[in-house]
């Protein structure tokens, strides 16, 4: 089914600014080439793209069209297929079926330099400007068209004009990039793309970590880029921004195109509806509550004026034993920083946390562990598991001193402890001697959790995106585990970007947006569309910048 919106005629889909579409500059064509091409020729055409990873369908029959000069928004939940689509476009992943046409010619890329040569530029949150170099050096870094010798004077001039175009005109090209803010660095990357006369600019969640002022500058730069005849794909979960910036929006849901419309035909509610589906508008969600909410003993875990690194406002929470709290926040919202601070990983966190009346010192992992606080990171491969070691070893890694007798560690004791932990988290005991790398994502996560949690001693369990990279059955098991620990009296705080998971698991839903708490409400009172609006825009009404 080819979803390209509603009967597009020649006048539809034109940029609201009503600028004539100029001939896009192509690095290979001589300057001053033929006159403006047919305005209806699509710059980029995605046709029936599909990609599966094993049993998981990432995208299915996705098509869209992008004209030169158009800013095209791409929205969808995590897991809806946005990043897969982008990776196909950038040549990082090959599709199973369907194709991509750039200027009517099929596109197949083999890496960063290839993408650059075809005129594609990609800017995402993981910036690729090098902080140790100057602004100027970064602008011209790795330019495939450049010769060996740097012509400093002409570079200086070109740098000046490139910076002007993105609103960084006042920036000295000789400044070190490390002195620039994140927003300025992002603008620098866009300037680099401009300089390379890219034809298509893809921005993937670029504004998640920017201030409002920086966001305005980025938008101005993006509009300028589009006005020069580029095509821009703007991937974002921040719906307000998408409506503000884009000409057209394509919404992906569960790997398919849920809708592709001109922005003038959309408003916030309609957009949220497309994202969530029809079932998202009643309070309490469409599923029966997974477990009865236990009356929590008040004031067991208390956060007072807690300010994790990067947060703009202090956080106050009173949580009870056996309570499961879901931090609803998108990537970059600050939820992760809060969890890490509570887990003792942030020496610079401020504020007062107490557990059962005793103060929990912030900034030391070992002190946190001693106090019964357990933090499960969202990066289980880098910071969590020992992939080359056996599952058994991974399970017992945190409690070696309690298993050992006077420094000695008899293998029987290790096996015994590992076996007990494995059964607690429902990991097949036959896999105990295998390397942890051979487990599925879900099982790895269970091992990670199982290692950290001690039934008797754990008072506060902190989970940062507990089911990231885990399939459906693994997810169910982990949710069951979490409930089990909560029933045992521990307080659980987890962060998630997944509405379903939040509604499934949490007793209390706390929304985090732009490094502050936006709302707190019990699960029964949550309306999914409102929740999504708060996570992506700060609230159903646009948040006024301070």
Interacting residues with other proteins between 229 and 288 (CB under 8 A) = none
Residue among 244, 471, 516, 520 that touches other proteins (CB under 8 A): 471
Q: Which is nearer to other proteins, 68 or 89 (CB)?
A: 89
CB of 237 to other proteins, least distance (A): 13
Q: Which is nearer to other proteins, 388 or 522 (CB)?
A: 388
CB of 442 to other proteins, least distance (A): 7
Q: Is 92 in the site for other proteins (CB under 8 A)?
A: no
* Rounded Cα–Cα distance for residues 240 and 245 (Å): 9
Between 383 and 412, how does the x/- string for binding to other proteins read (CB under 8 A)? xxxxxxx---x---xx-xx--x--xxxxx-
* Rounded Cα–Cα distance for residues 340 and 250 (Å): 35
Q: Is 449 in the site for other proteins (CB under 8 A)?
A: no
Q: Which region, judged by CB under 8 A, interacts with other proteins, from 108-116, 264-272, 288-296, 534-542?
A: 108-116
Q: Is 447 in the site for other proteins (CB under 8 A)?
A: no
Cβ atoms within 10 A of the Cβ of 131, count?
A: 12
Closest C-alpha among 483, 436, 442, 428 to residue 461: 483
Task: Report the run of H or E that residue 216 belongs to, with start and end.
Answer: helix 212-227
Q: Is 55 in the site for other proteins (CB under 8 A)?
A: yes
Residues 248/72, Cβ–Cβ less than 8 Å: yes
Please spell the DSSP secondary structure of 399-414, one letter per residue: GHHHH-BTTB--HHHH
Q: Is 86 in the site for other proteins (CB under 8 A)?
A: no
Residue among 56, 286, 313, 545 that touches other proteins (CB under 8 A): 56
CB of 150 to other proteins, least distance (A): 6
Distance from the Cα of residue 167 to its chain's centroid: 26
Residues 358/367, Cβ–Cβ less than 8 Å: no
Q: Which region, judged by CB under 8 A, interacts with other proteins, from 14-22, 33-41, 220-228, 436-444?
A: 436-444
Q: Is 435 in the site for other proteins (CB under 8 A)?
A: yes
Q: Is 131 in the site for other proteins (CB under 8 A)?
A: yes
- SS3 of 56-74: the string is EEEEEEEEEEEECCCEEEE
CB of 168 to other proteins, least distance (A): 17
Q: Is 437 in the site for other proteins (CB under 8 A)?
A: yes
Distance from the Cα of residue 452 to its chain's centroid: 25
Q: Is 54 in the site for other proteins (CB under 8 A)?
A: yes
- CA angle 501-503-505, nearest 5°? 65
Q: Which two tokens stand for residue 214?
A: 């920086």
Is residue 375 helix, strand or coil? strand
CB of 497 to other proteins, least distance (A): 12
Query: Any idea what DSSP says for residue 390?
Result: B
Q: Is 474 in the site for other proteins (CB under 8 A)?
A: yes
Looking at residues 133 to 162 of the shown chain, list those that interact with other proteins (rule: CB under 8 A).
133-134, 137-138, 140-144, 146-150, 152
Mark out the alpha helices in 254-387 (DSSP H runs). Answer: 268-276, 335-342, 365-370
Q: Is 456 in the site for other proteins (CB under 8 A)?
A: no
């Amino acid at each position: 089914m080819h979803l390209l919106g509603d009967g597009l005629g020649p006048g539809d889909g034109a940029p609201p600014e009503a600028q004539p579409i100029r001939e896009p500059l192509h690095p290979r064509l001589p300057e001053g080439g033929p006159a403006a091409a047919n305005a209806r020729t699509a710059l980029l055409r995605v046709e029936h793209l599909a990609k599966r990873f094993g049993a998981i369908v990432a995208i299915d029959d996705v098509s869209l069209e992008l004209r030169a000069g158009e800013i095209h928004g791409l929205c969808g939940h995590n897991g809806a297929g946005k990043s897969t689509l982008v990776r196909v476009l950038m040549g990082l992943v090959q599709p199973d079926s369907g194709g991509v046409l750039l200027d009517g010619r099929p596109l197949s890329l083999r890496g960063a330099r290839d993408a650059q040569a075809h005129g594609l530029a990609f800017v995402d949150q993981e910036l690729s400007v090098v902080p140790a170099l100057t602004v100027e050096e970064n602008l011209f870094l790795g330019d495939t068209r450049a010769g060996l010798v740097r012509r400093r004077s002409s570079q200086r001039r070109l740098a000046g004009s490139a910076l002007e175009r993105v609103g960084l005109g006042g920036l000295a090209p000789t400044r070190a990039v490390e002195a620039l803010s994140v927003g300025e660095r992002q603008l620098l990357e866009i300037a680099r793309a401009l300089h390379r006369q890219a034809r298509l600019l893809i921005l993937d969640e670029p504004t998640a970590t920017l201030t409002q002022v920086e966001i305005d500058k980025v938008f101005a730069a993006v509009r300028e880029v589009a006005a020069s005849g580029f095509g821009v794909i703007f991937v974002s979960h921040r719906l307000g921004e998408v409506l503000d910036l884009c000409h057209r929006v394509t919404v992906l849901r569960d790997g398919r195109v849920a809708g592709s419309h001109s922005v003038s035909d959309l408003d916030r509610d309609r957009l949220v509806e497309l994202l969530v589906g029809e079932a998202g508008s009643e309070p309490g969600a469409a599923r029966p509550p997974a477990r009865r909410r236990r009356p929590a003993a008040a004031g067991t875990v208390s956060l007072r004026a807690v300010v994790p690194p990067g947060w703009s406002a202090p956080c106050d929470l009173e949580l009870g034993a056996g309570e499961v709290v879901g931090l609803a926040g998108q990537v970059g919202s600050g939820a992760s920083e809060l969890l890490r601070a509570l887990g003792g990983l942030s020496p610079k966190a401020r504020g007062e946390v107490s557990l059962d009346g005793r103060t929990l010192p912030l900034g030391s992992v070992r002190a946190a562990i001693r106090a019964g606080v357990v933090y499960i990171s969202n990066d289980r491969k880098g910071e969590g598991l020992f992939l080359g070691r056996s599952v058994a070893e991974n399970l017992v890694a945190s409690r070696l001193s309690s298993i050992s007798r006077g420094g000695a560690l008899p293998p029987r004791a290790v096996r015994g402890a590992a076996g007990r932990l494995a059964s607690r988290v429902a990991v097949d005991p036959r896999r105990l001697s295998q390397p942890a790398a051979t487990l599925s994502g879900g099982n790895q996560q269970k091992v990670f959790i199982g290692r950290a949690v001690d039934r008797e001693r754990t008072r506060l369990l902190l989970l940062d995106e507990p089911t990231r990279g885990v399939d459906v059955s693994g997810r169910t098991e982990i949710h069951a585990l979490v409930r089990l620990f909560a029933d045992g009296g521990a307080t659980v705080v987890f962060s998630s970007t997944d509405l379903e998971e939040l509604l499934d698991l949490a007793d209390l839903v706390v929304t985090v947006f732009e490094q502050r708490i936006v709302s707190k409400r019990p699960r029964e009172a949550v309306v999914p569309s409102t929740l999504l609006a708060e996570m992506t825009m700060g609230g159903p009404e646009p948040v006024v910048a301070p």
